[in-house]
Amino acid sequence: MNSDLTTGCPRRISILGSTGSIGKSTIDLIERDPDAYHVVALTANGSAEALAAQAIALKAEVAVVADPAAFVRLKEALAGSGIEAAAGPDAVREAAAREADWVMAAIVGAAGLEPTLAAVERGATVALANKECLVCAGDLFMAEVKRYGATLLPVDSEHNAIFQVFDFDRKDRIEKILLTASGGPFRDWSRDQMAVATPEQAIAHPNWSMGAKISVDSASMFNKGLEFIEAHHIFGLGADRIEILVHPQSVVHSMVAYVDGSVLAQLGSPDMRTPIAYSLAWPDRMVAPVPRLDFAALGRLDFRAPDPERFPAIRIVREALERGGGAPTAMNAANEVAVDRFLNREVGFLDIPVVVEETIEEIMSGPLGTQTVDRLDAVRAVDSEARIVAARRSARRRFAAA
């Protein structure tokens, strides 16, 4: 039973992005102990019918689609249920701001920033899956977490692993953190092979089952780059104290190295229900229905340094972080656009880092290049300009290839 330990009442929870991969895994855990939770809000983008089915099954108070065009379908699917329906980005933000003890932030992309901030501003406990929030507006986001006394629990498996073994009281005794990366489906592919990779090949992750965008990010290793910035903000460490290691088995989810030579790691099966369960039960622990590790069957764990030639994303992200200002915001927006174009077969897989790098360069050498992004309107300005630039750059590459 994971009800509120102090009152014994069901915990009030909301799930932003409930129809996605993380959202569904969260619901899988909640449905195993339904009396322990009262579901306040569930949100999606356009998956109205799936959202309505979840809302009815979980007796949610409100269901919201971000895409206004999906509202009629949501209304129809919820007819007679007594569940409130709403649509549009403002309604998603309002749903996130409703009184809930625990909010899962699992919208994909920068679209998750403002709803997640709405939960932060209420001082909620926020289980953060949406890494793009921290990439596009890390300083602003962390300042708001501090200002409103929100509790941030990282859900990304690497950051959740680090969180479990990171001694926040003795941070000066930490030498570095080691972020592990599976290497994705193209881990051993040549650049020539990657040049003709299809979206189907890119989303076929060898270890994890995830949404399309993060799967492509894993294939390009932009995902590890985004996580690098995410780790920098959550754990307050400089780039020189964050190392990336390829670990094909995805069993060691990340590690913390201390000054005495000790390295603490968190291990587990590659199943997001473990970090979600950790954040749901925190500071307690709950039973999670995940496959247990069998070390004898596993036999070995491998590690190697990432290859910067085949995977330029890590260098691009490091440089964006060093550059500061709007560079990470532009990088994130450009990556979202380029991934979308790749999934729609409009650009090739290797065009993704090129579009991202060109976009950062154009934004940072233009009028927005000197802008700080410590306010929401500044983040929005860089984000939307970078999307325009990235769309133009993507179209150019498409015509060049045609």
Ligand X SMILES: NC(=O)c1ccc[n+]([C@@H]2O[C@H](COP(=O)([O-])OP(=O)(O)OC[C@H]3O[C@@H](n4cnc5c(N)ncnc54)[C@H](OP(=O)(O)O)[C@@H]3O)[C@@H](O)[C@H]2O)c1
Q: Which residues contribute to the site for ligand X (CB under 6 A)?
A: 17-23, 44-47, 66, 92, 106-108, 111, 129-132, 156, 208, 210-214, 272
Dig out the tokens for 231 from the structure: 């780790």
With respect to ligand X, which residue has the nearer C-beta, 314 or 364?
A: 314
What's the closest the beta carbon of residue 156 comes to ligand X, in angstroms? Answer: 4
With respect to ligand X, which residue has the nearer C-beta, 23 or 312?
A: 23
What's the closest the beta carbon of residue 37 comes to ligand X, in angstroms? Answer: 18
Of 117, 103, 109, which Cα lies nearest the Cα of 153? 103
With respect to ligand X, which residue has the nearer C-beta, 113 or 174?
A: 113
What's the closest the beta carbon of residue 381 comes to ligand X, in angstroms? Answer: 18
Chain position whose Cβ is nearest to ligand X: 20
With respect to ligand X, which residue has the nearer C-beta, 10 or 328?
A: 328
What's the closest the beta carbon of residue 47 comes to ligand X, in angstroms? Answer: 3
With respect to ligand X, which residue has the nearer C-beta, 10 or 23?
A: 23
With respect to ligand X, which residue has the nearer C-beta, 78 or 129?
A: 129
With respect to ligand X, which residue has the nearer C-beta, 272 or 364?
A: 272
Q: Can you tell me the distance from the alpha carbon of 150 to that of 162, in angstroms, rounded to the nearest whole number? A: 19
With respect to ligand X, which residue has the nearer C-beta, 342 or 362?
A: 342
What's the closest the beta carbon of residue 205 comes to ligand X, in angstroms? Answer: 9
What's the closest the beta carbon of residue 279 comes to ligand X, in angstroms? Answer: 12
Phi and psi torsions of 270, nearest 5°: -75, 80
What's the closest the beta carbon of residue 153 comes to ligand X, in angstroms? Answer: 13
What's the closest the beta carbon of residue 103 comes to ligand X, in angstroms? Answer: 13
Q: 3-state SS string over the chain?
A: CCCCCCCCCCEEEEEECCCCHHHHHHHHHHCCCHHHEEEEEEEECCCHHHHHHHHHHHCCCEEEECCHHHHHHHHHHHCCCCCEEEECHHHHHHHHCCCCCEEEECCCCHHHHHHHHHHHCCCCEEEECCCHHHHHHHHHHHHHHHHHCCEEEECCHHHHHHHHHCCHHHHHHEEEEEEEECCCCCCCCCHHHHHCCCHHHHHCCCCCCCCHHHHHHHHHCHHHHHHHHHHHHHHCCCHHHEEEEECCCCCEEEEEEECCCCEEEEECCCCCHHHHHHHHHCCCCCCCCCCCCCHHHHCCCCCECCCCCCCCHHHHHHHHHHHCCCHHHHHHHHHHHHHHHHHCCCCCCCHHHHHHHHHHHHHHCCHHHHCCCCCHHHHHHHHHHHHHHHHHHHHHHHHHHC
With respect to ligand X, which residue has the nearer C-beta, 376 or 398?
A: 376
What's the closest the beta carbon of residue 191 comes to ligand X, in angstroms? Answer: 25
